[in-house]
Structure 1
Amino acid sequence: MPDLWMPGAVRADVGDHAACDTQYPPKAIAHITWDKNATAAKPVDLVPFANLKSYFTGGGVGMAPHILWSPFTGEFTQFYPADSRSKSVVDLAGGTRTNRAGKVVIQIEALFFPYCRTPDGKVYAQLDDTPYKGWQQLQDWVTSWGVPQAWPMGRPTDFSPHRNEHVWETEGGWYAHAEVPENTHVDPGSWPEFIKAPTPPQKPVYEPFPGTSFFKAGHRSPIIAAMHKRLVAVGCNHYASSANADTWGPGDERSYAAWQRKLNYSGSAADGIPGPTSWGKLHVPNV
């Protein structure tokens, strides 16, 4: 089972846990705290993270999310376990229980408001401009709960509402507060893109040249066995037998010299010791 409490987050359990409506697909809801109003002409100092933490464990407990996140420092505080609903969206009687409509409905409040000013004097117009420290950690934890890395109603790029109750009820993924039914807020305005896992390096089709010193009498390797098969396949079979095909010996030198001559090498260039050019042309399969 995934971690109920996000690793690395400060736990500030406010209690009052309640189960989600698990017939709906898993979701995450993106918010910003928007605790001050500022403009480009009149930026306002960012509210300290500790102040918001105190708010959500005190007078604002009735609106507490799962996670309070500072995209400036990478700090996290968690108020509810992942499998409980939290209370950061409006939930009207008789409709979709918005705070619960999913196997999980993980709500994240990013500490941010447009044109906030950080202690170093920098002003940020939108969340996506911030360093969004900790985003990888947050994204991975949310994903571990089965929330798809997708925005069914579109990744937020402005403060326009886009709401569709059918999509909300039937598709899992990330939703802006501006996309949640029964709500009127238009945040978060923007959100970081998902960080994709690095693509593992592709194994080369052919075995890279292992170096001249590799080809010493008695050296055993599956690379030598693969070379042996290729030399036979290209008509350069000067082996006495196929025994010990993975061990470098006189048959390998004779056969490889035949390959070099086939490539129009002569004299010392056809001495039976592989070089990088002739090796590359032999196309020994990667082992």
Structure 2
Amino acid sequence: MSVKTGPQRYPGSSRANWYQDDFPGDPMEVNVVVLHTTEGTSLPDYGGGGAAPNLTAVPDLDTKRLRWFQHFDIECSSRALQNLAGGVETNTLNVCQVELVGTCDPTTHGKWKDAGRRHLFWPEAPAWALEGVARFLSWMHEQHGVPLSGPKAWPAYPDSYGSRNGQRMSKAKWTAFNGVCGHMHVPENDHGDPGGIDITEILRRARADLDLDEPPAGTQPKPGRPKVPVFPGRKFFREGAVNDHVLVLGRQLVKEGFGDHYKVGPSRSWGEADRLNVRDFQKSREELRGDADGFPGPLTWKLLFS
């Protein structure tokens, strides 16, 4: 059984439709986000929670923002994927699931538009909606290490249904996958959502939100911008971890004046002194004070080494 290692509530999300108490899931260390579309215009009831994702994003078309509802902890298995007994693990395989209220079906979009039914057609989502999804993914990258990358093929609906374009992963690919994908990519499932959503733009915005974009190959970094070592991953900074990354982090904390909790000095073994020093650094930075848990993520790492 996995241990939850990061913050479990997405900041600003509502728990008005919380289902984890009625449908306890399995704890897991998330490294995948699956995006769905609800094919509806309002927050679903998910059969009382029996088919709910971890979170739902509801577009507020008047204020031009996404309203977030959380149904399960980030690192608790939810129930929105087909998960056959004895088959490929889907709901329980390190997956945080997000439903985006709206449609990916151009036929449905046309009918709703003709009927005057206000809705969001995700393949043509406005910038504010893409930005709302991107901010969630950047938070998942920073707090849970989910890579801001995913499958190249995101065919438009209905070609995304079933396995028509070969976008659906095999069991082996799914088991090895880390990153952001759609319902259309998950094995044992035949749904085609979220269709042709602009995932390239969403991931670009997510990376820009964390200032993670690297200069093009063959070019020089911007003048005065220090070279930041690559963040090794949250798994290296947890209870019982012993590795060189802990030592490198500790030395940088001391260099930046955040080594007060070391009695002797930094070592290769992660401990409470490391966590407290990281927390002190996080509290000192406006960008991080809302998430000062003492465990470094990509943004903490970048700011510390910059």
Q: State the TM-score bracket (shorter-chain normalisation).
A: 0.5 to 0.7
User: Gapped runs of 5+ residues in structure 2?
Assistant: 215-220, 226-306
User: In the alignment, does 2:78 pair up with 1:86?
Assistant: yes
Say whether 1:135 aligns with 2:133: yes
Residues 1:65 and 2:58 aligned together: no
Contact between 1:155 and 1:176, CA under 8 Å: does it hold in 2?
no
Deviation track 1:137-172 (CA, whole Å, cap 9, x = no partner) reads 211222221211111x32523132422221110121
Structure 1 residue 175: deviation in Å? 1.7
2:14 is the counterpart of 1:10: yes
Following superposition of structure 1 onto structure 2, how do residues 247-266 of structure 1 map, counting pairs within 5 Å? none
Structure with higher Rg: it is: 1
Cα distance between partner residues in 1 of 2:24 and 2:125: 34
Give the Cα separation in 2 of the matches to 1:117 and 1:172.
Answer: 37
- Residues 195-214 of structure 1: CA distance to partner in whole angstroms, max 9, x if unpaired? 12246993369xxxxxxxxx
1:97 aligns with 2:89: yes
CA RMSD of aligned residues (A): 3.0
TM superposition shift of 1:95: 1.1
Tell me what 1:185 maps to: 191
Unaligned runs of 5+ in 1: 36-46, 206-287
Give the Cα separation in 2 of the matches to 1:10 and 1:99.
22
Aligned residue identity for 1:62: G
- Secondary structure in 2 matching 1:28: strand
Give 3-state SS (helix, strand or coil) of 1:86's partner: coil
Identify the residue that residue 39 of structure 1 maps to in structure 2: none
Aligned pair count? 183
User: What TM-score, normalized to structure 1?
Assistant: 0.56
Larger helix percent: 2
Q: 1:173 and 2:179 equivalent?
A: yes
Specify which of 23, 26, 40 is matched with residue 19 of structure 1: 26
Give the direction of change, closer, same or farther, for the CA distance of 1:204–1:99 in structure 2 (3 Å limit): closer
- Residues 82 and 125 of structure 1: is their aligned pair in 2 closer, same or farther, counting only changes over 3 Å? closer
Whether the 8 Å CA contact 1:117–1:124 is kept in 2: the answer is: no
* 1:192-271 aligned within 5 A: 192=199, 193-194=202-203, 195=205, 196-197=207-208, 198=211, 202-203=222-223
Q: What TM-score do the two structures reach when normalised by structure 2?
A: 0.53
- The residue number in structure 1 matching 2:98 is 108
Structure 2 vs 1, CA of residues 127 and 118 (structure 1 numbering), >3 Å: closer, same or farther?
farther
**1:90 and 1:70, CA in 2 relative to 1: closer, same or farther beyond 3 A?**
same
Deviation (angstroms), 1:121: 7.6
Aligned partner of residue 222 in structure 2, secondary structure: coil
